[in-house]
Structure 1
Amino acid sequence: MHTSATESGPTRLWHPFANMAEVKQRQFLVDRAEGAWIYDREGGRYLDATAALWYCNVGHGRAEIADAVAAQLRRLDAYFVFNDFTNEPAERLAHRLSELAPMPDARIFLTSGGGDSIDTAVKLARRYWIRQGSPERVHILSRRHSYHGTHGLGTSIGGIDPNREGYGPLIEGTSRVAHDDIDDLRTTIDRIGADKIAAFFCEPVIGAGGVRPPQPGYLEAAAEICAEHGILFVADAVICGFGRLGGWFGVERWNLTPDMITFAKGVTSGYVPLGGVAVAGWLAEPFWEGDGGSLPHGQTYSGHPTAAASALANLDILERENLLARADALERPLYDALRTLHEHPAVGDVRGGVGLLGAVELAPEVLGADTTAPARVARAARERGVIVRPLATALAVSPPLTVTEDEIALIPKAVAEALDAVVG
């Protein structure tokens, strides 16, 4: 059920996060998709237990989104929103997201994806303090294990060491704190000095860094500490938003009101690339009132009308089918299903229970013997008809919000068989 190369000959496609010396010999060609399933060119069927890269929340093959995209392409395919240019889909989307955002009077800066959104939020945080007469507030805090994309600023503030290494010096003025220790956040702020810190970036549930739900009370305490010291609290909801944690932006279950929220992925369910930053009205005000002054930052495809039309259709589906509530209902069945793997000798831990996502951590002795074990197990699970995502030490799952409990039950079965085949 593996496919390699293409009808046009050997690949010339450079794959992200891939050892091309290996991948060029054995590509896995995805030919089509429907619902929670993808298909290879030979007709082999695989449960997409990761919703692709965490994003296909409404499932594959939604004609409603395709029709909205086609109609928009025929009317106005693409146009920029720099300066005073705009378009109706971008305006409608910004208004809708502003109403859904938990912060008052939110303004929406649209981007091309999650990495763009992180870069936008970092630059906006620093620029805000410069506009406020505090140019020394440039330091950015984040958490270990955190993933904030692979752009220059996102790489610099990210907390996954292999993603930061091998590029030479990254940007200065960043620090990482323990992902689950609120005292470490306090002591780090004291050490650096709150008057030097612009913002704290925080995934509600750490995703690519291992699917790590927050310790009880951590997020609430972190937000309070930031407010106490005047540090901007930025929720990175790129993975966590649009139903993955049961709310629109993932922070609602903790009653958080961040100063900024970065988003992407589930806002369009990946049908067309789009991301953005929701910015509290008071934080946007210095740029919107008085002499204003431009923010010299933006992406060519910011406010892309076809991407915005895709997002609007996707939001319609999420609302009409009540998929946010469905994510709430399925998070426990998914966690319970994954926990059946806890007794497997090759498994060290199972994490989940906060949103429709989870991780199966491989045992230390397995990883010690073979650091490629997660990738090998993921490949073996794929051979058994289930797609899971290999991380550095774990296997991640994050199925579409439309997945059924019968489909969820296929995940631990395939993973267990894969572990037996690879680890023994």
Structure 2
Amino acid sequence: MSDVDATDTAFWHPFAAMGAVRHGEFVVTRGEDVWLWDEAGNRYLDATASLWCVNVGHGRREIAEAVAAQMSELATYHTFTDFANRPALELTRRLAGLAPVPGAKIFLVNGGGEAIDTAAKIAREYFARTGQPERTVLVSRRHAYHGTHGFGTALAGIPANRLAAPFVPDVVQVEWDDPEALDAEIERIGPGRVAAFFVEPVIGAGGVYPPPPGYIERVREICTRHGVLLVIDSVICGFGRLGDWFGVDRFGIVPDLVTFAKGITSGYVQLGGVVAHERVAEPFFADGAPPFRHGATYSGHPTACAAALANLDVMENEGLLKRADGLELPLHEAVQSLADHPLVAEARGGTGVLAAIELDPERLAANPALPAAVAAGARRRGVLVRPMVSAVAVSPPLTFTEGHIELLTEALRGGLDDAK
């Protein structure tokens, strides 16, 4: 072992060009509210809430103490068959009360990717149990991001993420902003073969695309007419990111399934899940129904559930949903102020506490690393933003204030200037 290069990392980073990263990691050591510090003691504004998830901000003692207390009592135990624990029971009851569906049942998993796989399996199994086993086709949208598990990779609307995809059969895509394209595709396939349509209320990692006015409402109508389950992917959009609990309440529709993760614990501990409408859950909960043969070792993990309960308390006690509503317009105006920059093709936002600047397509074609260059320039100015395939995104903690917006805007403009 003496010839091992001590500067060469053993950590294989996700979504990383490891040849560039292996000798140059950016090590974060501490967080407090909207701020982070690196190993050299430099402070940064976390304008991404890690990956869209630290909704209550960093360093919350309430969550840390809840986790420590739970771990000292019962850190972990499985929930297969009839096993349960009090945090899991309390959390699922609480979520069912907040959910935008009647008689909600909650299936808990470890994160967003597992939530998507779970929802896809539930959708297909629902139809198998209700005498329609031929309904297996799943529909997603261009630009969509649904994680990197098997179903999520197959559903991906970001071409670069479809590595070795599709991993599962019977998955198709439609244009992201045209509900009539969904209607036409269902008719083309045959309504009796389509199981579910997956929709992010605001497309997140695919570029921050808010839905056109009336889009969510119209696809609900189309799915209802064809008997297709509407799956709302609120992994990014839930728990305050759009100013409500499940990222879909503001649209006034009732989904069939909702996936969630990230903001449920503000990322402090891994947790995700699926909310099921009582109609969808009924074939699984009926007397004599066979087991749904799906689950993870850590489904309903007591420590993760304790973190979620403490996180929900913080959000409620500090009125963070209302605070998110107040941040929506100022954040949108901030990115709009950059629309005149020669590198910017479009500024998007206005639905929730997330926004993006799309970069000029000609410059991107000449330099695909342009989003990373803009983000690096912002980092040099003390602000962390999220580079994507063709855009740079911001999604700060909900404890962000209008007073932080000037720093964010100046850093983004500086990053754009450096890159041009």
TM-score range, shorter chain: over 0.9
Which of 189, 194, 215 is matched with 1:197 structurally?
194
Match of 2:173 in 1: 176
> 1:13 corresponds to which residue?
11
Determine if contact 2:220/2:253 at 8 Å carries over to the other structure: yes
Residues 1:23 and 2:15 are matched in the alignment: no
Q: Deviation digits for residues 373-394 of structure 1, max 9, x if unmatched?
A: 0011111111110000001000
Instruction: Determine if the alignment matches structure 1 residue 302 to structure 2 residue 299.
Output: yes
1:93 & 1:207 partners in 2: Cα distance?
A: 26
Deviations 1:245-292 (A, max 9, x none): 000001011011100000000000000000000001111111111211
Q: Where does residue 41 of structure 1 map in the other structure?
A: 39
Q: Distance in 1 between matches of 2:253 and 2:140?
A: 17
When residues 318 and 337 of structure 1 are mapped into structure 2, their CA distance, relative to the original with a 3 A threshold, is same
Q: Distance in 2 between the 1:83 and 1:199 partners?
A: 27
Aligned with 1:205: secondary structure?
coil
What is the alpha-carbon distance in structure 2 between the residues aligned to residue 379 and residue 299 of structure 1? 38
Tell me the residue number matched to 2:349.
352
Query: For residue 235 of structure 2, what is the aligned residue in structure 1?
Result: 238
Which letter maps to 2:331? Answer: L
Q: Is contact 2:174-2:181 (8 Å) kept? A: yes
Asked if the contact 2:34–2:46 (Cα under 8 Å) also holds between the matched residues in 1, the reply is yes
Alignment partners' CA distance in 2, 1:401 and 1:100: 19
| Among 250, 273, 277, the residue aligned to 2:274 | 277
Measured against aligned partners, the alpha-carbon deviations of 1:97-150 in whole angstroms (never above 9, x if no partner) come to 000001001000000000000000000100010001111000000111000000
1:115 alignment partner AA: G
Q: Tell me which stretches of 4 or more aligned residues in structure 1 moved more than 6 Å.
A: none
Counterpart amino acid of 1:101?
A: A
User: Root-mean-square deviation (CA), in Å?
Assistant: 1.0
Tell me which residue corresponds to 1:264.
Answer: 261
TM-fit CA distance, 1:365 = 2.0
How far is 1:171 from its partner? Answer: 1.3
| Partner of residue 283 from structure 2, selected from 282, 286, 300 | 286
CA distance in 2, matches of 1:124, 1:325: 33
Q: Which runs of 5+ in 1 are unaligned?
A: 1-6
> Match of 1:293, SS?
coil
The separation in 1 between residues aligned to 2:319 and 2:103, in whole angstroms, is 25
Residue 104 (str. 1) matches residue 139 (str. 2): no
Residue equivalent to 1:4? none
Distance, in Å, in 1 between the alignment partners of 2:70 and 2:406 is: 39
Which residue of 181, 186, 205 corresponds with 1:208? 205
Map of 1:144 onto structure 2 = 142
> What is the letter of the counterpart of residue 76 of structure 2?
A
Aligned residues: 416
TM-score (norm 1): 0.97
Counterpart CA distance in 1 for 2:85 and 2:355 is 39
Q: Which residue type is aligned with residue 396 of structure 1?
A: A
Q: Which amino acid aligns with 1:275?
A: G
Decide whether the 8 Å contact of 2:154 with 2:166 is kept in 1: no
Read off the aligned partner of 1:323 and give its amino acid letter: L
1:362 aligns with 2:359: yes
Distance 1:25 1:148 in 2: 31
CA distance in 1, matches of 2:178, 2:7: 52
